[in-house]
Amino acid sequence: MTNRFMPMDGNPAADDRAGPHVVVVGAGFGGLEAAKTLGRAPVRLTVIDQRNHHLFQPLLYQVASATLSPADIAAPIRQILKRQANTEVLLAEVGAVDLDARKVRFEDGGELDYDFLLLATGASHSYFGHDAWAKFAPGLKSLEDACEIRRRFLLTFEQAEREPDPEARPALLTYAVVGGGATGVELDRAGRVIVASDLSVPGHPEVFVIGDLASFSHGVETPLPGVAPVAVQQGRAAARSILASLAGQSRESFKYHDRGSMATIGRGTAVARVGPTCFNGYLAWLAWLFIHLIQLVGFQNRVAVLLNWCGAYITTQRRARLILKQCPRPGKDD
């Protein structure tokens, strides 16, 4: 059994294309950036993900807080890469990698050969040995997680509405937040792969690990955090290293260029750091809106998010207040 199929955009199967086979596992920020960089390269490119959509994780909390709908921050992977004639996309879960045989093996049975492998699967949240916390503090890494948090959040209002004891209602509407950092940066180093300066696995120059899965500490005081800008730059750098190897050239060491950070801290208020300059308030908030809009994948998503933000700002109402037992997956295969 194999997992190959005819891509839905009508491109020929990858076996019919010439060039070395590059396999990218994971279509998050890093994997997608690497795939785009290799889009016109003389390679056969296969992108594998266990979901059929790319998720814009920086806005995931806005789905959890009922500001945005799941489809607003997700886009089908095949739609994003449909213009790349050298690329096919597989919906599958990789269960193991045989480094010596250069094969990735799927959970459902098939396998795939590669000449170069790029692992960008991300990382899951951790309870640091306290798994009992999961019942009370669900993670926030996927759309399913966000919808579950939204469901619990909205149900407390429904429960408070029916509570006859006015003194008991405040307890139902009291929420605790542990930790004040942005989501996605809570990784210690457990479970991350220590990589070489060119993002390859030591002893296997044909295998790269990027994003949350990688522990990169070359030329920096502490390992780089698992945030989107790091993954994007690493995806681009790993793709360039593959191209350099194909051209018989030496690889460059990866250097992260920190362009700053920003976060919203309230209605019309944000904090931002761009290089050595720090600013806050309404100007920082507008900058935060602009940066996140231009980074969203897909024109329709940008328009939808902009309209939702405008509506929420003007009316102070949250539009996506649906209580669902199960979160629908956005982005059907095109």
User: Are 265 and 271 within 8 A, CB to CB?
Assistant: yes
Helix (H, G, I), strand (E, B) or coil at 160: helix
Instruction: Supply 37's token pair.
Output: 């960089």
Distance separating alpha carbons of residues 112 and 130, to the nearest angstrom: 37
Stated as kind and residue range, the H or E segment containing 281 is: strand 277-281
> Using CB atoms within 10 A of its CB, is residue 243 exposed (0-12), middle (13-18) or buried (19+)?
middle
Give the position of tokens 């960089």.
37
Respond yes or no: is residue 186 known to be catalytic. yes
The one catalytic residue in 93, 163, 186, 206 is 186
CB neighbours of 156 closer than 8 A, spacing ≥ 6? 172, 173
Closest by alpha carbon to 25, among 95, 129, 124?
95
Closest by alpha carbon to 312, among 55, 56, 69, 85?
69
CB neighbours of 254 closer than 8 A, spacing ≥ 6? 197, 198, 199, 216, 218, 233, 234, 237
Annotated catalytic residues are 186
